[in-house]
Amino acid sequence: MAKNDMLGDSLWDAYSNKVTTLMNNPQHQGEIFQEEAEARGHKLIVADFGAESCGDAVRLYWEIDPKTDKIVDSKFKSFGCGTAIASSDVMTELCIGKTVQEAVKITNIDVEKALRDDPDTPAVPPQKMHCSVMAYDVIKKAAGLYLGVDSESFEEEIIVCECARVSLQTVKEVIRLNDLTTVEQITDYTKAGGFCKSCIKPGGHEEKEYYLVDILADVRREMDEEKMKAAADASVAGEANFEDMTLVQQIKAVDAVIDENVRQFLIMDGGNMEIIDIKKSDEYIDIYIRYLGACSGCASSSTGTLYAIESTLKEKLSPKIRVLPI
C-alpha cells in the first residue's frame, strides 16, 4: 500500500521506513510454549503490560537459560497500533542474547534509536514515543518475574520524562550546572520534553506528577535565594560591595546584619523592626525602617536605638548608610 493511500504526506513522513516495514512485517511476533522451553532445559517467562494512556498492550515471552540467566529466545504479542508492534518487535530483538540483568538496562530510547533510519532523525512522531516506553516497562515486568522482585525496584529515581527516561535529579542538576533559564534549554541538554511533550506543562495527553516548567521555576527560585544569601553573607564578611548590590540583595544583606546584631535585643524588649525601602543617592544610602510592637512607641527608638542600628549597619555594610524611621 502506498504511503499516500494511508496517511497524509506530513504525518506519514514522521515515521521511519523501518517502523513502517515492521508494522506490517514484524520479525519476532509469536509465542513460546512452556513445553518447548522445558524440553530445552530453559525457563519461560511471560509478562504483560498495558498503557493506560492509549489502550495498547504487549505480551513478552522470554526463554531463559537458568544456568547463565541468558535470554536465548524472545517473542511478543502486541495489541495496539502499528507503532506499538514495531517498537515491541525491536525491543524483543534487543533482548535476545542478553542476560536478564543486561536486558533490564535497555531503555525506551534504545528502542526508538534502533527504529531509526539514520541516527539524527526520530523514528516516530512525538506523540508515539509512549509506545517505546511500553516496551521498556514490559522488560522490567519480565525481569521482575524472573528474579522474583517488584519491577519497580529497577527504577531507582523519579522519572520526569518517560520518553527520554530523564530523572528529576538529572533535570535539577542540569539546570544548576548550566544556569538554564528555559524549558527549551532543558530539552537541548537532556532531551526531556522533546518527544510527546506531556512532561513540559499540564494539559498534555498524559497527566504527570512533575512538569518541567514547575521544576525550572523551583530550581531558579532556589538558585536566586542562594545567590542572595551568599551576597548577604559576603557583605557581612566584608567580601562584597554593598553599594553595588541590587535592591533585593541590599535588603537581604541589611536583614542579615539586623538578625545577627540587633533584632534579638528588640525582641527582648517586646519590639521588632522591618525594612520598608532602600534608596540610593550619590551621597547617602537611605534605609527606611518601621518599628514594630513596643519599639513603635519607645522614646529611644528615635535616639539610642536608632543610633545603634545605624552604627552597626555603617560598620558592617557601608559608611554611607542613613537609617530613617517612618
Q: How far apart are the first and last CA of the chain?
A: 82
CB 263 within 8 A of CB 257: no
Residues 37 and 72 in one domain: yes
The one catalytic residue among 54, 95, 199, 295: 54
Whether the Cβ atoms of residue 162 and residue 199 lie closer than 8 Å to each other? yes
Is there a domain that residue 63 lies in? yes
Spot the catalytic one: 81, 95, 131, 298. 131
User: Do both 250 and 294 map to the same domain?
Assistant: yes
Final residue before a domain boundary, out of 107, 128, 154: 154
Q: Assess whether 163 carries a catalytic annotation.
A: no
Amino acid at 297: G
Determine the pLDDT at residue 158. Answer: 85
**Residue 116 domain-assigned (yes or no):** yes
Q: Is residue 228 part of a domain?
A: no
177 and 106, same domain (yes or no): no
129 part of a folded domain: yes
The cell for 181 is: 533559564
- Which amino acid, one-letter code, is at 298? C
Domain count within the chain? 3
pLDDT of residue 235: 58
Per-residue DSSP letter, 239: -
CA distance 180 to 78: 40
Together in a domain, 283 and 172: no
Same domain flag for 170 and 85:
no
C-alpha to C-alpha distance for 228 and 234, rounded to whole angstroms: 10
Residue 233 within a domain: no
Question: 147 and 260 share a domain?
Answer: no
**Domain harbouring 286, CATH code:** 3.30.300.130
Q: Which of 128, 154, 180 is the last residue of a domain?
A: 154
What's the CA gap between 281 and 318, in Å, rounded? 13
Q: What is the CATH number of the domain that holds 53?
A: 3.90.1010.10
Q: How far apart are CA 69 and CA 60, in angstroms?
A: 16
Q: Containing domain of residue 117, as a range? A: 3-154
Distance of alpha carbon 212 from alpha carbon 198, whole angstroms: 9
Say what the pTM is. 0.54
Whether 47 and 143 map to the same domain: the answer is yes
Please give the grid coordinates belonging to residue 70.
Answer: 541468558
**With DSSP H G I counted as helix, E B as strand and the rest as coil, what are the percentages for the chain, rounded to 5?**
50, 20, 35
Burial of 291 (0-12, 13-18, 19+ CB in 10 A): buried
Question: 3-class SS at 45?
Answer: strand
Residue 266: inside a domain, yes or no?
yes
CB distance 130 to 200 below 8 Å? no
Strand locations in the chain, DSSP E?
43-50, 57-65, 70-79, 159-161, 166-167, 271-280, 285-293, 321-325
Q: Is position 215 within any domain? A: yes
Residues 98, 136, single domain; the answer is: yes
Q: In DSSP terms, which residues pair with 57 in a beta bridge?
A: 50, 79
Are 26 and 93 in a shared domain? yes
Same structural domain, 86 and 205: no
Domain final position from 154, 174, 202: 154
What per-residue confidence (pLDDT) applies to 53? 54
Whether 20 and 124 map to the same domain: the answer is yes
What pLDDT, on the 0 to 100 scale, is given for residue 6? Answer: 41
Residue 232 falls inside a structural domain:
no
196 is an active site residue:
no
Co-location of 132 and 177 in the same domain: no
pLDDT tens string for the chain (326 positions)? 334 334 445 567 889 999 999 999 999 999 999 999 999 999 999 999 876 556 778 999 999 999 999 999 999 998 888 888 999 999 999 999 999 999 998 887 788 889 999 988 888 886 677 677 778 789 999 999 999 998 776 766 788 987 777 889 889 988 988 888 999 999 888 888 988 888 999 987 778 899 999 999 999 999 888 877 776 666 555 556 888 888 888 898 898 899 888 888 888 888 899 999 999 998 999 999 999 888 777 767 778 889 999 999 999 899 999 999 98
The candidate with the shortest Cα–Cα distance to 294, out of 273, 324, 277, is: 273
Separation CA 14–CA 12 (nearest Å):
5
- What is the per-residue burial (b if ≥16 Cβ within 10 Å, else e) of 38-63? eeeebebbbbebbbebbebbbbbbbb
| Helix/strand/coil for 257 | helix
Tell me what pLDDT residue 109 has.
78
